[in-house]
């Protein structure tokens, strides 16, 4: 069962000087609204206004309102695409950070592999020299 919305008190000035009246109204609950609820409500409310302006012969004003609604719709679509892209980038960043965290210290690993490479190169060089020495050394005296 949903809990009741809180009531807020407003003081509204009356018709006479200094007269105030308390008005209680429900607070808006944004949890049940979609992301674009405000824009959707705005666009829905413009339809009768546009029709009224057209009936009054104000086609230019009606066209301006429709253009503004179209621009708002385009911006919201672009924002939605940016949010999706941002989410994907955040996921990639989290994956990369996880890989870095799991792999440990790259600098130490890099140094270790460099030294191992140096050791192997020295070993290879020593083996080449030994082979050359054995090839030059006569096996039997003449």
Q: Kindly report the three-state secondary structure assignment for every residue of 22-59.
A: EEEEECCCHHHCCCCHHHHHHHHHHHHHHHHHHHCCCH
Other Cβ atoms less than 10 A from the Cβ of 44: the count is 9
Query: What's the pLDDT score for residue 36?
Result: 73
Query: What's the pLDDT score for residue 15?
Result: 47
Please say whether the beta carbons of 63 and 53 come within 8 A. no
pTM above 0.85, yes or no: no
Per-residue confidence in pLDDT tens, the chain, 142 aa: 444 544 544 444 444 555 555 544 444 555 555 667 878 888 888 889 899 999 999 999 999 999 999 998 888 888 889 999 998 899 898 888 888 777 767 777 788 888 988 999 889 988 888 888 767 766 655 5
Query: What's the pLDDT score for residue 56?
Result: 92
Residue 80 CA to its chain's centroid (Å)? 10
Query: What's the pLDDT score for residue 12?
Result: 45
Phi, psi of 22 (to 5 degrees): -85, 130
Query: What's the pLDDT score for residue 63?
Result: 93
């Amino acid at each position: 069962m949903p809990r009741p919305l809180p009531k807020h008190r407003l003081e509204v000035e009356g018709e006479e000087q200094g007269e105030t009246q308390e008005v209680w109204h429900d607070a808006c609950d944004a949890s049940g609204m979609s992301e674009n609820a405000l824009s959707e409500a705005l666009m829905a409310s413009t339809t009768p206004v546009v029709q009224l302006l057209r009936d009054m012969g104000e086609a230019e004003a009606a066209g301006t309102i429709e253009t503004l609604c179209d621009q708002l719709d385009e911006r919201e679509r672009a924002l939605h695409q940016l949010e999706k892209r941002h989410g994907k980038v955040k996921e990639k960043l989290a994956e990369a950070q996880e890989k870095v965290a799991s792999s440990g210290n790259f600098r130490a690993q890099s140094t270790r592999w460099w030294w191992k490479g140096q050791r192997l190169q020295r070993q290879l060089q020593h083996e080449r020299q030994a082979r050359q020495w054995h090839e030059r050394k006569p096996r039997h005296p003449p």
